[in-house]
Structure 1
Amino acid sequence: MNSSSIHAPQWPIYLAEARCELLRVLRTPAFVVPSLAFPLVFYLMFGVLLGHGQASVPLLASYTVFGAMAPGLFGFGIGLALDRERGLLTLKRALPAPPAAWLVARVAMAMVFAATIATLLIIAGGLFGGVQLAPMQACALLAVGVFAALPFCAIGLLVGSFAPASAAPAVVNLVYLPMSLLSGLWMPLSVLPPVFSTLAPLWPAWHLGQLARMAVGLQAQGAAWAHVAVPLVIAALCLLLAQRRLRRE
């Protein structure tokens, strides 16, 4: 083996892994259709039709985060659990490829879906909700959507590293749906008992929702740096716990 093969660039491997992961997901309509359709349908229903335009901008922000949660949680939480059960994760470790290639590929997939969902919501808000975002606001909301995928990839990774394949969908939904509600993504926390507003800063989705509100020019609670730091800390903790778990297998 010559020195040129030893020091060959690894980015083509990461790119190929990401391409294969995206193609795999696109061939799974049971994942693609709900991930893209649910946030859009909910926004059109509650933000446009029932909200009569008044809730268009706030719900555009919150449903951008809601839409970014699903690809990471389900892509990692259920996908990883299935890979562990089928032995595919062990096979990937034995392949002559960078150990993190599959991880980077799935994160990239989740970010692509989050960006697509945010784009669809921005277009729907402009066409049907009367939302007029400045170009910088639209770009900022898109960036928040992409960033929001990261902590939920880590949470999904943690779920997928512990939960068996048969239980992973239930565990993911127990994270996805209650956290969306308790973070104020579906309805204002002011309509719930005060304890829910007190506990809201514990959830990464709440912090991301505040960032999304800032992106579209709405009033938000807390500082932007805290809303960035808390999801990153939670993501790092979940990644560390998942890494320890996977090393034992």
Structure 2
Amino acid sequence: MIEIGATQPSKRESIGRWCSLWAYYVRSEILKLFRMPMFSLPTLLFPIAFFAMFGMPFKNVQQLGINNGMFMMASFGTYAVMSVAMSSFSASIAVERGTGWNQLLKTTPMRTWTFFSGKIAMALFFELITLVAFLMFGDVVGHIHMAFSSWCQLTGLLLIGLFPFVTLGFFLGYVSGPTSATIVANLIFLPLSFASGLFIPLQMLPKFIQQVAPYLPSYNVAELGWTALGAHTDRSIWTNLGWITIYTIAFLAMSILVYRRDQGQKFG
């Protein structure tokens, strides 16, 4: 029943209400992820562990004109980005689908783009924490010292590189089951990591991999970091950003397609 004299909320009030609800949803997503240590702890610790094993022993050599320690910080920072977006993120979405949480959200006024943007905001926040922990380890334990501006530039570029992988994580979360999402993600992003020269220098890999690597999203994200730290690369940052944008749009279109198919199967 409509009350006499009641007025509709103004546009400013509606926007303010949506922002408040969106912030609450993002906060809930962040708390949920931290309360699932089986997803969050490996994401935080694996990049540090891999860097300690594969990066630190060779930090004093040169690669592409810069110290290899700095080079590997960008490489394993890229690995951290991929790990958040494709392993923990896709598994989280698959678990929500398996437990029926998505069906419950469907009964609320939440819009689809609120759902997507909230998930991306959560991934960016968690990725920022992962990168800060990783870079602090490199500085304090690995003794790889750089100017603060270089740390900020590297972090910002790697956060930009999150977008193609977070959209791919959406896709994997909707085509995989709760128990298989992490496995499927690992089967994709681990080969991508090796083929992009993140663990082993690209010049040591087979010739055909060297030819394919520049077109991989993981290589383009890593090259953003390498270039920002002063490495002598053959391509500009704008080329890398172009490939990252193309992959982001393609993976986002795939994610929206499988999301709509999933909603159609459940709700008609």
Q: TM-score range by the shorter chain?
A: over 0.9
The residue number in structure 1 matching 2:60 is 53
* 8 Å contact kept, 1:75–1:106: no
Shift in Å at residue 44 of structure 1? 2.1
Q: 1: CA distance between counterparts of 2:195 and 2:89?
A: 22
Q: Could you tell me the TM-score, scaled by structure 1's length?
A: 0.92
Cα–Cα, structure 1 residues 201 and 156, in superposed 2: closer, same or farther, change >3 Å?
same
* 8 Å contact kept, 2:196–2:202: yes
Shift in Å at residue 211 of structure 1? 0.2
Structure possessing the higher radius of gyration over alpha carbons: 2
The residue number in structure 1 matching 2:65 is none
Structure 1 segments, 4+ long, off by >3 Å, are none
* 8 Å contact kept, 1:68–1:113: no
Q: Could you tell me the TM-score, scaled by structure 2's length?
A: 0.86
The residue number in structure 1 matching 2:29 is 21
The residue number in structure 1 matching 2:266 is none
- For 1:248, what is the secondary structure of its paired residue? helix
* 8 Å contact kept, 1:115–1:145: no
Aligned length: 248
Find out whether 1:68 has 2:81 as its counterpart: yes
The residue number in structure 2 matching 1:4 is 9
The residue number in structure 2 matching 1:98 is 111
1:213-228 residue pairs with structure 2 within 5 A? 213-228=226-241
The residue number in structure 2 matching 1:150 is 163
Partner AA of 2:159 in structure 1:
V
Choose the corresponding residue for 1:202, options 188, 192, 215.
Answer: 215
Instruction: List runs of 5+ in structure 2 lacking aligned partners.
Output: 62-67, 263-268
Partner AA of 1:61 in structure 2:
A
Partner AA of 2:134 in structure 1:
L
Q: Percent identity?
A: 25
* 8 Å contact kept, 2:154–2:228: yes
Q: 2: CA distance between counterparts of 1:31 and 1:165?
A: 12
Q: 2: CA distance between counterparts of 1:189 and 1:99?
A: 40
Instruction: List runs of 5+ in structure 1 lacking aligned partners.
Output: none
Cα–Cα, structure 1 residues 228 and 74, in superposed 2: closer, same or farther, change >3 Å?
same
